[in-house]
């Protein structure tokens, strides 16, 4: 009942909002502006044609009514969606469909990554309050908050893409760069793994030396020219991931979970010799097959987890499935890396793309197309991610700090639980509750949130619909943009409230 | 539970005073003498406490200094509204392009192949038609600063008014005001600012600022309403009413000062958000337009020249980041200063 009432109120609010926006857009300038200064001989005909198309002879409220009745057909299932036509006569609903899929592709990945990394950083910063990592995270959060997205995107586009592409032509890392990177990596690992002074310095030293060694090896072998992961590396990574997940989610003392994860890693390492050729084959490389393989991995994970589970089968299943999926991910990465030389050749050496969402008229097999889409995604994703990440890490840190000061955490520690259990099983879950609502609301804002990034990287998404429509004083595409954006926003807001009530029993009762 | 007694109160004299008793105990032997303490306690008003906490917050202090320096630099260098500044060149007069418009600012000392600290004629270089870029950047900074401060002011005023009315009077007033706020919240800020920007195109930056400010108040209104809702239940409001205070007086004299902390912090963050919004809009071409400049417009105009003349990008970007960062730090400092429970900065 509550949900229905909320929906009704939101619907009316939305209706009023559409009216406000329509009136504002229709008055935002002269729709015949560019035609008035047109020197061509059939200027008057063009003016008349446009007046006809956009119903400019009617008053603004009348045009609004025409539009809203058209938009109302969208609510009727089965009927077509008439959102009007834009200035060039194209149907707005098809335009919106294409634009929405393009924008979603861009923003979804960026948002998911931002959430995962941001929350991880925020939580670790909260656990190590007042440490170097904490100050660095807080300061960079401030910095990225204050950095306008367009400035950063322009910087990335010009600096990164051009410099990186140039570097790829002769991909060698000189010693000074390798040293600098090694030092940074050492600092990062030391900050992440924490511990007392001695342990931190050991971690820093080991990480720096290893990083330096790896970078020099990669440079000597010219790995960047023909990148790949290779069966050995995949196996090593699979086992490392298994140990990592087991340590994080269950604690290394729970041997059966660890053995389950290791078994999963072993299965994966053996399976790669079948899976990789299978997926590399043109005929078998499709999204459905990849999805099916993913499901198969989860099924095997369930089986292995159940077998090794012991008292807490759920935990074992989760760890095993995650290990399996991540190992599968490494296999996919390997295939894609091995397609890079061909792709680079077809792009004449410009691997990192800066314009558009994909290369137009691109001929290539599945993996080439995947690589093309990914290379066009890299820079815009980084631009969006950094600002989002700043916001998430701040909220995660604040939320985690608040939870860590609660009494029940102190009780848990007093009971003698390991720090890992206290943090992962108790504190983290409770800290996630307000973050979930934030993430839900953020997802709602996602589809309208990339206007500037799309403008800088020339993606044909929702942002372009909006900006072009506004500049040409054409309400229909702008309204199309607004309807989709606001409906998504309202729906996700409601989902956020429901999720909050579901996750936090105190809200339900009050 | 023992209470600390001021040393001048009568204390039964001890027959023997230990040698290392210190001035307090020694003086206690001789009742009636004033003792010199090692410290003084002085009652501080809440305003003083807040100021002290703010000034001790290093980030906020730094932010304050940077912000004020930027304002002084921008407004004094090329002057404003007819008052001339100390920088000789004008931002609107084209000239011959000297040395490809390169920056004449040099900070490299002479032993590193530089000219020592030299400012030169065009420290930030020149643009395509030879206008001095330093003057252009300063003009852009002026306009951006003016817009964001105006937006902050307007948004705060309207937000406080609406939020206070809604929160205090409740009932029908609140319902109507909140519905209006909800309608406006549904529209994303960029959308509404862009639409208004297009409406205000050609009418100058002040009109743009006014229009954006007129619709930026929604978050603040909600916040203020929340504060008022909780504050109006407090006992001092009841007491004031019992003493015959009118509603207006209660709002202004009693509730508002208590809500001031949240309002000021929110206003500061609005200013920071406003500058990012305005520069983004100008970048898209929907905000400040020619012949006025704005930092966002400068960046978008010279985006293509980045390869050969990167300083045309870096200087406006630097100023945008400096302003936004300093205001954000000030906001953070204010938030910590107003929060009585925080432990990071001691008064």
- Torsion-angle region of residue A376: left (phi > 0), alpha (psi -120 to 50) or beta? alpha
* Tokens read off for A361: 């008229």
Is residue B268 less than 8 Å (CB to CB) from chain A? Answer: no
**Whole-number Å distance between alpha carbons of B259 and B232:** 11
- Angle CA A262–A268–A272, to nearest 5: 155
Cα–chain center distance at B265: 8
What ipTM score was computed for the predicted complex, to two decimals? 0.78
- Exposure string of A43-64, with b = 16+ CB inside 10 Å and e = fewer, is eeeeeeebeebbebeeebeebb
The pLDDT value recorded for residue A340 is 84
The pLDDT value recorded for residue B1 is 42
Is residue B178 less than 8 Å (CB to CB) from chain A? Answer: no
The total number of structural domains that make up chain A? 1
Name the one residue in this structure whose structure tokens are 């925080």: B342
- Where are any strands of DSSP class E within A206-356? none
Among A285-289, B1-5, B71-75, B126-130, name the one with the lowest average pLDDT: B1-5
Domain containing residue A341: 228-348
pLDDT per residue as tens digits for the range A332-377: 888 888 888 888 888 777 778 778 777 777 777 788 888 888 888 8
The pLDDT value recorded for residue B100 is 65
All structural domains of chain B, each given as residue ranges with its CATH number in brackets, are 46-98+117-338 (1.10.3720.10)
The distance in angstroms from the start CA to the end CA of chain A is 17
Tell me the chain B residues in contact with residue A450 when contact means C-beta distances shorter than 8 Å.
none
Mean pLDDT taken over chain A: 83
Q: What is the DSSP letter of B80?
A: B
- B338: Cα within 13 Å, side-chain hemisphere: 15
Structure confidence at residue B24 as a pLDDT band (50, 70, 90): low
Instruction: Give domain status of residue A340, yes or no.
Output: yes
For residue B59, which of A275, A355, A470, A135 has the smallest C-alpha distance?
A135
Tell me the chain B residues in contact with residue A481 when contact means C-beta distances shorter than 8 Å.
191
Query: How far does A303 lie from chain B, in Å, by closest CA?
Result: 47
Cα–chain center distance at A60: 39
The pLDDT value recorded for residue B17 is 47
Contact A482 B191 (CB under 8 A): yes
pLDDT per residue as tens digits for the range B260-292: 888 888 899 889 888 888 888 888 887 777 777
- Where are any strands of DSSP class E within A261-321? none
Instruction: Give domain status of residue A216, yes or no.
Output: no
Instruction: Give domain status of residue A69, yes or no.
Output: no
At CB < 8 Å, which residues of chain A contact B?
Answer: 13-14, 16-17, 20-21, 24-25, 27-29, 142-143, 145-151, 154-155, 158, 162, 445, 448-449, 451-452, 455, 466-467, 470-471, 473, 478, 481-482, 485-486, 489-490
- Angle CA A415–A420–A426, to nearest 5: 65
How many interchain CB pairs under 8 A, A with B? 123
Query: How far does A158 lie from chain B, in Å, by closest CA?
Result: 7
Instruction: Give domain status of residue A326, yes or no.
Output: yes
- Exposure string of B201-220, with b = 16+ CB inside 10 Å and e = fewer, is beeebeebbbbbbebbbbbb
Tell me the chain B residues in contact with residue A467 when contact means C-beta distances shorter than 8 Å.
194, 284-286
Could you tell me which residue, A51 or B274, shows the higher pLDDT? B274
Tell me: pLDDT of B69 over 90. yes
Tell me the chain A residues in contact with residue B284 when contact means C-beta distances shorter than 8 Å.
150, 451-452, 455, 467
Query: How far does B111 lie from chain A, in Å, by closest CA?
Result: 23
Tell me the chain A residues in contact with residue B324 when contact means C-beta distances shorter than 8 Å.
145-148
**Whole-number Å distance between alpha carbons of A2 and A176:** 63
The pLDDT value recorded for residue B32 is 59
Question: DSSP readout, B34-60?
Answer: ----SS------HHHHHHHHHHH-HHH
Mean pLDDT taken over chain B: 79
- Exposure string of B156-195, with b = 16+ CB inside 10 Å and e = fewer, is bebbbebbbbbbbeeeeebeebbebbbbbbbbbbbbbbbb
- Which residue of chain A comes nearest to B271, CA vs CA? A146
* Tokens read off for A510: 């009050």
Contacts of A507 (CB under 8 A, 6+ apart): A500, A501
Distances (CA, A) of A163 to A159, A171, A178, A351, B318: 6, 11, 17, 11, 21
Contact B321 A151 (CB under 8 A): yes
Instruction: Give domain status of residue A192, yes or no.
Output: no
User: What percent of chain A is predicted at pLDDT more than 90?
Assistant: 4
Query: How far does A14 lie from chain B, in Å, by closest CA?
Result: 7
For residue B219, which of B297, B165, B163, B168 has the smallest C-alpha distance?
B163
Could you tell me which residue, B130 or A456, shows the higher pLDDT? A456
pLDDT winner (highest mean) among A78-87, A131-140, A355-364, B233-242:
B233-242
* Tokens read off for A342: 């061909």
Question: Cis ω on the peptide bond leading into residue B208 (within 30° of 0)?
Answer: no
Q: What are the residues facing B83 on neighbouring strands?
A: B80
Instruction: Give domain status of residue A164, yes or no.
Output: no
Contact A13 B303 (CB under 8 A): no
CA-CA-CA-CA dihedral for B308, B66, B272, A452, to nearest 10: 10
Instruction: Give domain status of residue A274, yes or no.
Output: yes
Q: What is the DSSP letter of A161?
A: I
Structure confidence at residue B153 as a pLDDT band (50, 70, 90): very high
Q: What are the residues facing B126 on neighbouring strands?
A: B132
Tell me the chain A residues in contact with residue B201 when contact means C-beta distances shorter than 8 Å.
28-29
pLDDT per residue as tens digits for the range A266-305: 998 898 888 888 888 877 778 888 888 889 999 998 998 8
Strand (E) or helix (H) holding B309: none
pLDDT per residue as tens digits for the range B233-262: 889 888 998 999 888 888 888 888 888 888
Instruction: Give domain status of residue A258, yes or no.
Output: yes
Query: How far does A130 lie from chain B, in Å, by closest CA?
Result: 10
User: Can you give A384-416 as a three-state secondary structure string?
Assistant: HHHHHHHHHHHHHHHHHHHHHCCHHHHHHHHCC
What average pLDDT does range B81-90 have in this prediction? 76
**Whole-number Å distance between alpha carbons of A233 and A78:** 52
For residue A464, which of A98, A161, A110, A15 has the smallest C-alpha distance?
A98
What average pLDDT does range A85-92 have in this prediction? 77
């Amino acid at each position: 009942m509550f949900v229905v009432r909320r929906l009704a109120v939101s619907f009316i609010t939305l209706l009023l909002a559409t009216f406000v926006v329509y009136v504002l857009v229709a008055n935002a300038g002269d729709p015949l502006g560019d035609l008035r200064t047109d020197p061509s001989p059939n200027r008057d005909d063009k003016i008349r044609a446009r007046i006809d198309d956009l119903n400019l002879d009617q008053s603004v409220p009348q045009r609004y009514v025409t539009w809203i009745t058209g938009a109302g057909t969208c609510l009727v299932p089965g009927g077509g969606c008439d959102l009007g036509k834009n200035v060039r006569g194209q149907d707005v609903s098809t335009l919106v469909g294409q634009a929405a899929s393009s924008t979603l592709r861009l923003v979804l990945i960026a948002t998911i990554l931002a959430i995962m990394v941001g929350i991880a950083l925020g939580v670790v910063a909260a656990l190590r309050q007042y440490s170097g990592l904490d100050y660095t995270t807080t300061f960079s959060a401030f910095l990225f908050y204050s950095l306008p997205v367009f400035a950063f995107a322009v910087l990335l586009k010009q600096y990164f893409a051009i410099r990186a592409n140039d570097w790829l032509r002769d991909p060698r890392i000189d010693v000074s760069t390798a040293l600098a990177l090694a030092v940074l990596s050492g600092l990062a690992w030391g900050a992440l793994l924490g511990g007392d002074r001695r342990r931190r310095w050991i971690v820093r030293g080991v990480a720096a030396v290893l990083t330096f060694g790896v970078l020099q090896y990669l440079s000597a072998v010219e790995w960047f020219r023909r990148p790949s992961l290779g069966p050995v590396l995949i196996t090593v990574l699979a086992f490392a991931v298994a140990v990592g997940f087991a340590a994080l989610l269950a604690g290394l003392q729970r041997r059966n979970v660890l053995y389950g994860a290791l078994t999963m890693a072993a299965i994966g390492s053996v399976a790669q010799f079948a899976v990789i050729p299978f997926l590399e084959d043109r005929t078998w490389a499709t999204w459905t097959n990849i999805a099916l393989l993913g499901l198969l991995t989860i099924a095997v994970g369930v089986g292995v987890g159940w077998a090794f589970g012991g008292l807490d089968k759920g935990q074992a299943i989760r760890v095993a499935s995650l290990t399996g999926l991540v190992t599968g991910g490494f296999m996919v990465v390997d295939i894609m890396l091995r397609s890079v030389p061909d792709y680079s050749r077809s792009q004449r050496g410009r691997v990192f793309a800066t314009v558009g969402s994909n290369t137009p008229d691109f001929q290539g097999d599945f993996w080439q197309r995947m690589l093309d889409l990914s290379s066009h995604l890299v820079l815009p994703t980084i631009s969006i991610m950094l600002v989002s990440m700043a916001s998430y890490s701040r909220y995660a840190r604040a939320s985690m700090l608040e939870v860590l000061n609660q009494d029940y955490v102190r009780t848990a520690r007093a009971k003698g639980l390991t720090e890992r259990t206290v943090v992962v099983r108790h504190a983290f879950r409770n800290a996630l509750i307000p973050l979930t609502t934030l993430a839900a609301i953020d997802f709602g804002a996602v589809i309208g949130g990339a206007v500037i990034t799309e403008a800088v990287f020339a993606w044909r998404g929702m942002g372009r619909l909006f900006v072009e429509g506004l500049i040409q004083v054409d309400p229909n595409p702008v309204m199309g943009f607004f309807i989709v954006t606001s409906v998504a926003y309202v729906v996700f807001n409601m989902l956020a409230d429901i999720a909050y009530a579901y996750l936090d029993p105190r809200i339900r009762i009050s | 539970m023992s209470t600390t007694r001021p040393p001048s109160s009568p204390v039964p004299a001890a027959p023997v005073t230990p040698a290392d008793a210190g001035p307090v105990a020694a003086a206690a032997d001789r009742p009636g003498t004033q003792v010199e303490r090692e410290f003084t306690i002085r009652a501080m008003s809440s305003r003083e406490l807040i100021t002290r906490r703010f000034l001790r917050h290093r980030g906020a202090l730094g932010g304050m200094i940077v912000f004020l320096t930027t304002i002084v630099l921008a407004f004094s260098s090329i002057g404003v509204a007819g008052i001339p500044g100390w920088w000789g060149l004008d931002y609107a007069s084209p000239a011959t392009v000297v040395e490809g418009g390169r920056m004449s600012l040099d900070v490299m000392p002479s032993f590193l192949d530089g000219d020592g600290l030299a400012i030169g004629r065009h420290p930030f270089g020149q643009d395509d038609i030879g206008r001095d870029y330093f003057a252009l950047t300063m003009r852009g900074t002026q306009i951006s600063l003016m817009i964001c401060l105006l937006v902050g002011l307007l948004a705060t005023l309207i937000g406080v008014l609406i939020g206070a009315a809604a929160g205090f009077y409740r009932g029908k007033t609140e319902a109507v005001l909140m519905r209006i706020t909800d309608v406006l919240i549904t529209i994303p800020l960029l959308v509404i600012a862009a639409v208004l920007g297009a409406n205000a195109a050609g009418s100058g930056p002040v009109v743009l600022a006014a229009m954006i400010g007129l619709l930026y108040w929604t978050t603040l209104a909600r916040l203020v309403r929340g504060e008022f809702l909780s504050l109006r239940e407090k006992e001092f409001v009841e007491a004031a009413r019992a003493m015959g205070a009118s509603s207006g007086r209660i709002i202004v004299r009693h509730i508002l000062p208590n809500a001031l902390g949240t309002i000021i912090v929110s206003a500061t963050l609005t200013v920071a958000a406003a500058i990012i919004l305005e520069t983004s809009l100008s970048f898209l071409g929907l905000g400040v337009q020619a012949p006025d400049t704005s930092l966002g417009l400068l960046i978008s105009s010279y985006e293509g020249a980045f390869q050969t003349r990167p300083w045309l990008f870096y200087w406006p970007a630097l100023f945008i980041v400096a302003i936004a960062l300093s205001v954000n730090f000030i906001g953070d400092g204010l938030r910590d200063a107003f929060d009585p429970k925080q432990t990071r900065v001691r008064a």
